[in-house]
Each structure stands twice: as structure tokens, then as C-alpha cells.
Chain A
Amino acid sequence: MNKSPCCSASDHAFSRRRLLGAAATATGVGGLGGLLEPSVAEELRKNEKQVLFVWLDGGMSQLESWDPKPNTQFGGPYRAIPTSVPGIHVGELLPHTAKQMHHLSIVRSVHTQDNSHSAGVGRINRGDPKNRGVVYPYFGSAVAKLLGPTSTGLPPYCWVKPYSGGFKTEHTGFLPAKYGALAFGDAKPPENLLLNEAVSLEQNQARNELRKMFNERFTEDRRRDWADANSYVFDVADTLMKRMDLFDESTISERDKDRYGRHALGRHMLMGRRLLEAGVRFVKVNSYHWDSHGDNFNACESLIPQFDQPFAAMLEDLAERDMLDNVLVIAISEFGRTPRINSHVGRDHWPEAWSVAMGGGGIKRGQVVGKTNKLGTFVESEEYDIGHLFQTWFRALGVPEEKMEYVNEGQPLPVAHEECHAIEELLG
């Protein structure tokens, strides 16, 4: 039985329902859920900033990646290698990313609160806001809400992941279901996304024009809100269907396939790049099974290169296409891994001192922020919780936190934990 001192958050789900109902009445499809200053919201939607959020489910060992401690008690067998930024070293399992270090920064003083998967996944993805009796949205849903789609009109939150795809609403927290993720299971389009083969492009256009005409007739003397909401989802569907080329394997060069790698994370990252190029606001690329409680070093030798190769290719491509100034890039897990090596030669969960890599839009590059002690066990500089990172990212995206609030059922809610501050060193 849940005996937390505050009501478990899902109990306020009714707020969301009512919010949706009320907002649909007031504003149709436009601004579901109030924001403190509509003019700020409008300005924000005009910016074309995008996000790549690489989520390594579990924890990538910081000691084998971003914060190596070779030749120390807990350092493990791998060396540290120099990077394209003089003075910054990373683990030798990241040779490709090392060459792109000038596009990236590393925060080595991350200190979070949860060492269990059940709490960690949600806490990190939601930015661990203060408990206010509501469930906060994941970062992707939050950005979909705060910034909306880019001018392309493509769905603002796409999620490339192993296993199943479809329309996933479990990330939206108190926001309406429409801020959920459009998921590409194994990089494939969701059901019914491709134009039915019995319908030609011309026929599709003709039937949609007729549909709009009937809607216009009907709303001449009726409330418009539902019709507008209905039209909106057809427009989004139409925009998506026009980008069928995104799912056409034949347009991908063999060279890119090799550069990103032909394993799942490689293919998924490449799909992520195509979605970003197409103009999707927030792309989450997901990899599972980063949880090396046993045999950590062999696991790292197998897993980290699968991240290194496509992640480096992505940074290189975004930079080459002049997209990096616009795309905030984040690579993150639920937590780090214990410095102490357990009896299964594994590393367990360690939220006390770990690293997160980020770069691109709005973030200063080629920096290392914060440090851990010699053994890598604890943070020696100021500790940054996930709330600090969310504050930093929202600032990088141009979300002015002092003017930006969610309004849920009349309750103003800060977009991120207001007791955490942005990491100024990382902001230009």
C-alpha cells in the first residue's frame, strides 16, 4: 500500500481530464493547458530549436566512458584516451566520440536521488520535480507542450525504440494524451502511417479536400472547437504521410549504414537523424539493457561501442549539416554505476557521482563541468541533480523559466524544480 505523505500523484488524474475538457472548450486545439504568458509561449513556438535525447535504459558506466579513472582502485582495465579537445580524456571504448569532443560537453558531477530502476526511469525523465501531487511529463512531452511542433507541422515528439511502436501516452503526466510520443518500433513506422496502396496521392488529396469541405459546412452554424481538433489530427497525419521517404530504406547510403552501424542502436540513431532533418522537434532514441550487474567489463566492451559509433556519426552529421547550433544533444542514463566492483565482476547502480554528456544548441562545447574524487566515488565540486540539468536544457531551448509555468487545474506548476538552477558554465 502506498503510504507516501503526499497523495500518490495519479490521484490527480481528474485534473488532466477536466483541464482537457475546459481547454478544448476555450481554445480548441491550440493551447491545451494554460501557460503563464501566452505571448512568451507564442514566441517560443517560433524558434526552431530541436532536441536529440539518447536514453540508455539502465546505467552506462561513467568509469568506462565519460569519467575514466585508469590505474585506480576501482578504475577497471580500460585506458583513458585523449580527445579532439586538449586536456579532456574519455574511456578508450569511445574512440569515435573522442574525435567529436569539440561538439560536446561532459558534466561529471551529476548526483541524483534514486538507485532503483522503478523510481529512476521516471525521476530522470521527468526532471525529478518537487512533489506537488501531480505526475510531471517526460522531457519529450514537456518540450512538445512548451515548444509545439516546428514549422514543419510534424509530430513534435518522436521516439525511436526497440520492440513495439505506436502512439504512446504514458509519458505525458498531467498533460493531455496528445503530447505523447509517436513511437517507431525498431525504426519502423507505426501502423497505418503509409498511404494505403489502393489510394493514389491525387485520390488522397481529393478525398481530404472533400472532408474539409464537409467540415466547413457543418461548422458554419455550430461550435467549431471539436471540428478544429478533428481537422488538426488529420493535418498531422497528412504531414507525416507526406514524409514516407523517411521510411524508405533505399534512400539510405551504404556509407551511412556503415558509419552508424548495422546493429539496432545504429539503425535507430540513423532514423533519429532523418527525423531531426525532417524537422521533428524532439527525437528520443532509446537503447535498453544497460545494466551490467555482472561481467561489467565485457558488457561495456560490447555495449559502449554500439553507442559510440552512431552517436559520433550523429554529432559529425549534425555539425556538417549546420544543424548542431539548433539541436540540443543529450546522452543520459538512469544513473551511473558503482565504483566498487561486485563479486560478479559487475557494477551496480550509483546515483551518487556520474556523468551526462550534452552539446549542440545553446550549450557551450568542449567543456568538462565538475569533478569526482580520485577514486570516482563521490563528487568533489558542486553536485548537480537532474533538476539542474532540466533547468539548463530549458534555458538552452529558450524557455525563460521565470515566465514559464504550466497551469494545471488552476494550479501553477514550474516547468522544472525551482530549487535547482541552470549550470551557467554550460550556457553561452
Chain B
Amino acid sequence: MARSALLTCAVVVLSSFDGFAAEPLHQRIDELIAADFKGEPTSLSNDVEYFRRVNLDLAGRIPSAADSRSFLEDASPDKRVAVIDRLLASPEFADRMANLFHVMLMERRGDNEDWMRFLKTSFAQNKSWDQMVREILNPDREDESLRGAAYFYTRRLEKSGQQTTDFPGLTRDVGRLFLGIDLQCAECHDHLFIDDYKQRDFQGLFAVYQNISIRSEKFPAINEKTMTAKLEFVSVFDASAKGDTGPRIPFGKEFEIPEPPPVDPTAKKKRPDPNDPPTFSALSVIADSLPSSDNQLFRRNIVNRLWFCMMGRGLVEPLDQFHSANQATHPQLLELLADEFAAHDFDIRWMIRELALSDTWQRSSRLNSPTAPPRETYQVGNQRRLTAEQLFWSTLQATGNLERLAPKDGEKPSNEFKELQTGFVTSFASEPKEPAVDYTPAVKQALFLLNDSKVLSLLKPQPGNLIGTLTSLPDEQVADELFLSVFCRLPDDTERTTINDYLKNNVDRKEEALSQLAWAMLTSIEFAVNH
């Protein structure tokens, strides 16, 4: 009943848009956001705010001082669009997306080279999302560029300690991450509070995933046992509430299990080899059908997640709680994004571009009234925490050590680079299996920035790095260069005076004073968030 209501709603939405269907998506986004709020939104971000934000979101790090300067000086009216297109075409975009999706899909369970190669190649080719998901859900062992996709399964199939393989956890994650539904409670019974989540929906996926296992290879790979019969289940609350199910898409179709091929009675009996392919692959049945434009949840989940990454709040929150009692803050907008995304063949680059072109994404984070409007109104740009990786790369950029430390194409990263990267990730990443959705400052992060020798060594003068450059500049030029490098903006008059005074008071220890100023900026909240 709930779903038919949603369907009706979707039809109404679609028809109501006929009038201005020719408008680009980003304008329609802004109209729907504006329609929902009666106040005066804050102004659009200025050039410096915009340039920092677009670099962080599309390239995964802040821009260099030189890039900021030339963007500020660029007088062309369409420079914002131009920079979006330049960044979307850059290799950094693929790296940024690969990292974003790695963290989203693996939730800091671990790293794997083949998996990262799969993600990077996919984003570099701008592979459509439905195809990527098909490749993850039914990994192709034979194709070297694709086989890393199996890591999504293999890492979750690993046993930890005395625990047996967590098949229910894997089933749950498929629902959470690709459909936005957390079916965990429906493992043993129909969900107690969420009417939409039925036990058969969990069991229909579980039936498939309990048949897979890690295949012994040098790269991530799985085996699948043939599914020969429906899975029977019973509610723990009601012994009469029995059911059975074949492979099933949650809230969707159940698939038939074909008759197994006849056994040749004359053939010699051999022990089944786990490496033999299944005669019927339920995995491929699910992988073919789940990521499709007919699957509403599949469409809504991904646009909600992309929206969350760009706007700092999901239209539906928590991100894995799509159900009829948890409506989106902007239901029409969610449907519009989902429909348009499907209509554009699940093109992630296109969707990111449209989001970045919207005024909604470009709002300044400065308040225009003493009381901040709720985050879900998007009337003020939402601050977003930098990921551990954004912070790491931005710190290298800001301190002028990116050139020196970042591994060039094909080179192995230096130990200094690896240790720093590990330090940032261990200190700033969320706990394993926790979705990275909140800003959670921790004492260990502060201690890392305060006392880690490798962090502090980034602020020692070297030819070409920030402190090296600043040391050789006349005092009156220091403030501008320092602010552009770290905050990606020029200082205002008060700030310029503060910097100059500080340098004057520490004239006999200029180098040290410069490192202290830079350290204080790097550890401030202005640096730590995307604003």
C-alpha cells in the first residue's frame, strides 16, 4: 500500500514538471529548494570560497596558492563553469571519486590494490553506476581491471577471530549501500517499527549471499555454490509465520530456481570442487536485476548519497533508512534527481556537474542572520568535514610539500609519504564499519597535529615549500601568500595587521614565527572543514 502511494506521488511529480522540463537539472534543483523555504537565502559563495570548495569536492584537495590567485584574477564570466569542467576531466577527479566510494562502500574495513584499481579505472572511464554495481555484485574473475571489485565481498567474507563468516552482515550491507535500506532487524522477523521491511526481503538476499565463499587466488575472488532450493525461514516471534524464498530483490521480484541438470547415473562420482562454476548462479540473477532503472530504491539511494556528499546532508537520513515512514525532506527533489539520473544512464560525472552548477551547492557558509536556519533548508552552505584523505592531500598542498612528496606516475611512494598518509588516516578516519557521516573530532587527532614529528617537519623550511618561500619574502608580502596557500583566500585588513604585528614582534625568529602561524591555520576549523 505504501509503495503504491509512492508510485502515485512519483507520477504526479513527473507530470507537474512537464511545463519546464527543458530547464537544466541544476535550475530545477534550485527552484525546488527555494519553493520549500520562505526566508531569504544567504548569498552565493564568493570566488575564493567557491574555488576552495570545488577543488575539495572534485579534486579531493585544496587548490595551490598560484591556482587560487589566477582564478581570482580571471575576469571571464563563465569561469566557474570552466573550472568545474576542467576538474571533472582531470585525473584527480577519478582519484577523488575512487576514494569517496571506497570509504562509502568499504567503511574503513581495509584496503586492497586491485579494488582501488577497479574504482579508479571505473571513474576514469566514467563508467555508469549501474554497470559498476553489476560488476561489484557479480565480479568477473577473468578481467584484470574488473576483478578487484570482488573485494567488496571478500573482505566481508573474511572471518575474524572465532567469529564465523558474517553472511547476515554482508546481506545487510548490500541492502544498505546499494538500496538505502537497513534490513538487519528483518533477519529474524518482519521489522517491528518499519512496516516496509519484511523478513522475506532479507532472506531473499541472504539466500544468495550465504552461498558465496572466498576463492583462493592472489587477487580478490569468490566462488558460488549452486542454489538448488528455496530458503525456508520462520519468524522468531511467531512460529506459524513461515515462509520460503528464492533469490529476491527487496520489495521486488522473486526469481525461480531452475531444476538442476539431470545427473548422469553412469558418470563416475567425483567430489564437488568448490572452484566449479554453479550450474545456476543466483548471484548473477541479482546482479543483473538489482541495479536497474526499474528499481526505485536503487535510483534513490545513489542520488541521495551523491547529494549527501556534495550538500552535507542527505535528503533522506540516515542514508540507509529509506522507508515510507521516513520521508525525504524534499520528496519531489529526490524523485527528480532519481529520474534524471536514470534518464542520463546513471552518469555520475553528469550528476556531480549538475549539483555543482546549482546555487544550492554554491551558497556561502556565512550566516546572514544570528540564528542559523536548519541544515535541511540549504539556505546557508553546509559545512562538511574533510575526509582523512582530503585533509592529508590538502595539508601537503598548503605546506608546499605536494610536489616533493606525492609519488609521480609509476613511482613507489616514499616512506615519508606513506607514514604521513597512514598517520592522517589512522587519526582522522572513522572507526571500521562506521559510516563516515558525522564530524567527530577526537583527542587523538589533536595530539597527532600537535606532536607528530612528521607533521611538524612539513613546516620546516625547504626550497620551494611554504615556509621556505615565506622566509625569503619581504614581511609585507607574507600575509597574502600565507593566507592564499593555507586558507585559499586573501586576508582581510585585520588579519593582515595581525600577521604583520606577529612577525614584527618575533623579528629575530622569523622562521619559527612563520611555522607557528602556518601550524595554527592548518589546525584551525577553517582548514578542517569544507565550507
Contacts and interface: CB of A to CB of B under 8 A. Distances in A.
Interface of A: 1-5, 7-8, 11, 13-14, 17-18, 20-21, 24-25, 155, 166-167, 169, 176-178, 182, 190-196, 198-199, 203-204, 206-208, 210-211, 213-215, 217-219, 221-223, 226-227, 229-234, 236-237, 240-241
B443 to A, nearest CB: 5
Contacts of B437: 17, 21
A24 B440 CA distance: 9
B188 A210 contact: no
A155 B444 CA distance: 12
Given A5-B188, A21-B437, A222-B366, 18 more contacts: A2-B168, A177-B431, A196-B450, A199-B451, A210-B517, A211-B524, A214-B521, A214-B524, A215-B524, A217-B495, A217-B526, A221-B367, A226-B383, A229-B439, A233-B441, A234-B446, A240-B443, A241-B451
B236 A232 contact: no
Interface string B451-462: 111001000000
A3 B456 contact: no
Given A14-B320, A20-B440, A236 B446 contact: yes
A213 B498 contact: yes
Contacts of A25: 375
Contacts of A7: 184-185, 187-188, 192
A223 B371 CA distance: 9
B528 to A, nearest CB: 6
Interface in B435-483: 435, 437-448, 450-453, 456
Given A199-B456, A211-B520, A222-B366, A177 B440 contact: yes
Contact of A3 (B192, B236, B528): B236
Contacts of B451: 192-196, 199, 241
A144 to B, nearest CB: 12
B308 to A, nearest CB: 11
Output the residue of B192, B320, B439 with the most chain A CB within 10 A.
B439
Interface in B353-370: 365-367
B525 A203 contact: no
Contacts, number: 160
Contacts of A217: 494-495, 526
Contact of A218 (B187, B380, B524): B524
B125 to A, nearest CB: 33
B444 A190 contact: yes
B456 A198 contact: yes
B516 interface: yes
Nearest to B318: A14
B167 A1 contact: yes
Contact of B447 (A2, A17, A193): A193
Contacts of A18: 317-318
Given A191-B447, A196-B451, A218 B526 contact: yes
A24 B443 CA distance: 16
Contacts of A206: 516
B372 interface: yes
A216 to B, nearest CB: 9
9 contacts: A11-B184, A24-B438, A167-B442, A192-B447, A199-B456, A204-B450, A214-B520, A215-B525, A217-B526
Contacts of B523: 211, 234
A207 B447 contact: no
Contacts of B317: 18, 21
A208 B237 CA distance: 57
Contacts of B367: 221-223
Output the residue of B317, B447, B521 with the most chain A CB within 10 A.
B447
Contact of A1 (B168, B365, B520, B525): B168
A14 B366 contact: no
Nearest to B237: A5
Given A193-B451, A210-B516, A169 B524 contact: no
A74 to B, nearest CB: 31
Contacts of B452: 192, 196
Given A5-B188, A196-B452, A206-B516, A24 B439 contact: yes
A2 B237 CA distance: 14
Output the residue of B318, B437, B456, B524 with the most chain A CB within 10 A.
B524
Contact of A232 (B320, B441, B448, B450): B441
B339 interface: no
Contacts of A169: 431
Contacts of B184: 7-8, 11
Contact of B528 (A21, A213, A230): A230
B519 interface: yes
Output the residue of B372, B431, B440, B453 with the most chain A CB within 10 A.
B440
B524 A196 contact: no
Given A1-B167, A21-B437, A237 B447 contact: yes
Output the residue of B437, B439, B450 with the most chain A CB within 10 A.
B450
Nearest to B457: A198
A196 B453 contact: yes
Contact of A213 (B192, B236, B442, B520): B520
Given A176-B440, A217-B495, A233 B446 contact: yes
Contacts of A214: 520-521, 524, 526
B185 A11 contact: yes
A17 B433 CA distance: 12
A210 B520 contact: yes
B434 interface: yes
A167 B528 contact: no
B320 to A, nearest CB: 7
Nearest to B447: A192
B95 interface: no
Nearest to B523: A211
A176 to B, nearest CB: 7
9 residue pairs, one from A and one from B, having the closest CB atoms: A210-B520, A214-B524, A11-B184, A237-B446, A192-B447, A211-B520, A227-B525, A218-B526, A192-B451
Contact of B520 (A191, A192, A207, A226): A207
Output the residue of B184, B529, B531 with the most chain A CB within 10 A.
B184
A372 to B, nearest CB: 33
A268 B184 CA distance: 41
A211 B519 CA distance: 8
Nearest to B366: A221
B321 interface: yes
Interface in B405-455: 431, 434-435, 437-448, 450-453
Contacts of B447: 190-193, 237, 240-241
Contacts of A8: 184
A21 B446 contact: no
A17 B185 contact: no
B321 A14 contact: yes
Contact of B531 (A1, A13, A222): A222
B24 to A, nearest CB: 30
Contacts of A236: 443, 446
B25 to A, nearest CB: 27
A204 to B, nearest CB: 8
Contacts of A230: 441, 525, 528
B347 interface: no
B389 interface: no
Contacts of A240: 443, 447
Output the residue of A20, A155, A169, A199 with the most chain B CB within 10 A.
A199
Nearest to A234: B446
Contacts of B521: 210-211, 214
Contacts of A207: 516, 519-520
Contact of B236 (A5, A167, A219): A5
A21 B525 CA distance: 17
B512 interface: yes
B57 interface: no
B135 interface: no
Given A20-B438, A21-B437, A191-B447, A3 B318 contact: no
Nearest to B436: A17
A70 to B, nearest CB: 39
Nearest to A226: B439
